A and B are shown apart, each in its own frame.
Chain A
């Protein structure tokens, strides 16, 4: 492994050293690390592989047919379905009871759902990190207020608060609004865990040393603490994204999603609503289900891979 990577280093003369140097200094350790941390690589591979398939789908397939009534209804997966005007068309994933082309739905749905998750996870981790640093670094009354907000927030089930808010807004939310709303209701848990990490870090000798050498509070936070917390924050981000996707699918499956967007959760909603299982239309519920399983399993693998990165204590044992 190492030999095959380092040999070109010797052969290639100095003028093209940029790449080989990069190869030896950056890529080789990364490859070595990948061998030691397979779950991170497998998880990333699954997620990127699915996004690649979705990207290809966007290019080669007419995704406009995700709308109802754009295709014949209740077709099983077929490559040549005869349309009413006599022409034939292919529906490799079949169609549902309302005449959506399910391949188009599958292509559009996955990135939409990931987008909700990323927006919500970003909002949650952003707010959570700021709150955690405010609380843990400045302590005192700031900490007291943030801690009670977090404690109360943890006692309020986010999904139900979302339902209450959504009912009172009284209109359908767009995909991005759903993401932001989920983020606003789910920042308390990351705030709590990051706060405890910062509290531990505060007592470390290198922070102490930095404080003694006259670094300002902001300097300590940005130069000493944030860089050391990045692995942990990234791991929490992945967890938050997974949680947000779960929440968004929950919100949509219970009938509070955006009815004009073909997200994975809305497809699940239509499946439950028209009881596709008892109709025997397996091609309707199988693709969104598989996509959701792949998303969750890959996010889970990525987060346990990141865990290994941020918590080396787990490495040696078992």
Chain B
């Protein structure tokens, strides 16, 4: 236990040397092994995605054409020929094995195919345009909520906190139990509809064209406030619960008793001993949540008609644009697997105890 305490204390004083030592020690096999696992996860997940549509025996291209024909009342005669030419265009007439190899080849070049509904546009083009909106809003909000929630949880799990703080715990818990899109609906009704303080929906005012002016930036910010609050309110509770639990777990540990016995100041024990150790699982959680931010808030985006991935996903479902949906799923999987991989690689830097286990 003493070694652990010293290890935790030492890293901050001799960060550089320990980083170099860890990197040289670990590069040999650890990162390579992790990277292979990352590739394995992505491969297996994309294989599942390749198989799912084939299992149902339905043909997304033909489905789409039939749907269009029903809507537009077009003649049914040329339909089969049309479907055939489309299948050729998308490579769906080749044997399954070739299709699979082509699919993996395209994937390795990050080529996600062409949209069916907006035909000449590529999936990459469509997805990346909306990804900017989602990442800008959700990324900022997630990190903000993480910091605020973790701080709140750390204080709430500290036995020597001021007594009145106990009373903010229940409201935080209750807020965290309410789905974000419902908070979003309440916020829209109260702030945007009743009080008319902020815009009701969208990422920017409907009549404007995105430009790099000050007015446009203010407009975007005004539109982002409500979705941001909807997410922060409930995410803070989530982080606070986790952090509080971990803080409580550190209370009985030997290094805490030792720090107390050494007569260290309360603030030092709090920050360097309790928070430092309780933070590790939170960081794991943050990496996993950052991997899902793209889809985590699909419904919040839908409620606000925010021009992010959620909106694109909804449009793609409505138009049954199979390739766009598949592209979004693949990007999310890459995001989560990538976040896990980065976390595995960076974790020894945060927790020196991991290094000992690996070498």
Known A168-B56, A317-B251, A318-B159; judge A155-B317 contact (CB<8 A).
no
B159 with A300: CB separation less than 8 A: no
Residues of B within 8 A of A157 (CB): 292, 295, 329, 332-333, 336
B317 with A163: CB separation less than 8 A: yes
Known A155-B333, A318-B248; judge A277-B189 contact (CB<8 A).
yes
Known A249-B179, A297-B174; judge A280-B333 contact (CB<8 A).
no
A272 with B295: CB separation less than 8 A: no
Bound Cα distance A168, B54 (Å):
9
> Smallest Cβ distance from A310 to chain B, in angstroms?
13
| A133 beta carbon closer than 8 Å to chain B | no
Residues of A within 8 A of B53 (CB): 164, 168
Q: Mostly helix, strand, loop or mixed at chain B's interface?
A: helix
Residue on A with the closest CB to B47?
A: A152
Considering only residues 192-209 of chain B, those with a C-beta below 8 Å from chain A are: 193, 200
Residue on B with the closest CB to A156?
A: B45
Residues of B within 8 A of A296 (CB): 177-179
**Other-chain contact of A165, B52, B173, B291, B320 (Cβ < 8 Å):** B52
| B232 beta carbon closer than 8 Å to chain A | no
**Other-chain contact of B179, A160, A165, A292 (Cβ < 8 Å):** A292
Residue on B with the closest CB to A256?
A: B317
> Smallest Cβ distance from A311 to chain B, in angstroms?
9
Residues of B within 8 A of A297 (CB): 174, 177-178
A160 with B295: CB separation less than 8 A: yes
| A314 beta carbon closer than 8 Å to chain B | yes
Residue on A with the closest CB to B179?
A: A246
Known A167-B320, A300-B173, A314-B248; judge A160-B299 contact (CB<8 A).
no
> Smallest Cβ distance from A273 to chain B, in angstroms?
10
Query: Most A CB atoms within 10 A — which of B173, B177, B298?
Result: B177
| A218 beta carbon closer than 8 Å to chain B | no
| A169 beta carbon closer than 8 Å to chain B | yes
Can you identify 13 A-B contacts, CB atoms within 8 angstroms?
Answer: A151-B37, A156-B336, A160-B295, A163-B317, A163-B329, A165-B56, A167-B60, A253-B181, A254-B314, A255-B318, A292-B179, A293-B178, A314-B248
Residue on B with the closest CB to A279?
A: B193
| A250 beta carbon closer than 8 Å to chain B | yes
| A270 beta carbon closer than 8 Å to chain B | no
A289 with B45: CB separation less than 8 A: no
> Smallest Cβ distance from B99 to chain A, in angstroms?
15
Considering only residues 265-310 of chain A, those with a C-beta below 8 Å from chain B are: 268, 271-272, 277-278, 280, 282, 285, 289, 292-293, 296-297, 299-300, 304
**Other-chain contact of A159, B176, B245, B298 (Cβ < 8 Å):** B298
Considering only residues 307-344 of chain B, those with a C-beta below 8 Å from chain A are: 313-314, 317-318, 320, 322, 325-326, 328-329, 332-333, 336-337, 340
Bound Cα distance A317, B246 (Å):
12
| B48 beta carbon closer than 8 Å to chain A | yes
**Other-chain contact of B189, A165, A282, A318 (Cβ < 8 Å):** A282
Bound Cα distance A167, B157 (Å):
45
Residues of A within 8 A of B156 (CB): 318
| Contacts from A to B (Cβ < 8 Å) | 148, 151-152, 154-157, 159-161, 163-165, 167-170, 246, 249-250, 253-256, 268, 271-272, 277-278, 280, 282, 285, 289, 292-293, 296-297, 299-300, 304, 313-314, 317-318
B45 with A317: CB separation less than 8 A: no
Bound Cα distance A289, B329 (Å):
29
Interface residues on chain B, number (Cβ under 8 Å): 58
A160 with B332: CB separation less than 8 A: yes
Residues of B within 8 A of A314 (CB): 245, 248
Given contacts A164-B326, A168-B60, 12 further A-B contacts (CB under 8 A): A155-B333, A163-B317, A164-B52, A165-B52, A167-B325, A168-B53, A255-B314, A255-B317, A277-B188, A277-B193, A282-B189, A318-B156
A278 with B200: CB separation less than 8 A: yes
**Other-chain contact of A272, B291, B302, B318 (Cβ < 8 Å):** B302
**Other-chain contact of A289, B49, B60, B182, B328 (Cβ < 8 Å):** B182
Bound Cα distance A314, B251 (Å):
11
> Smallest Cβ distance from B160 to chain A, in angstroms?
11
A167 with B322: CB separation less than 8 A: yes
| B356 beta carbon closer than 8 Å to chain A | no
**Other-chain contact of A156, B185, B333, B340 (Cβ < 8 Å):** B333
Residues of A within 8 A of B200 (CB): 277-278
Residues of A within 8 A of B333 (CB): 155-157
| B303 beta carbon closer than 8 Å to chain A | yes
| B16 beta carbon closer than 8 Å to chain A | no
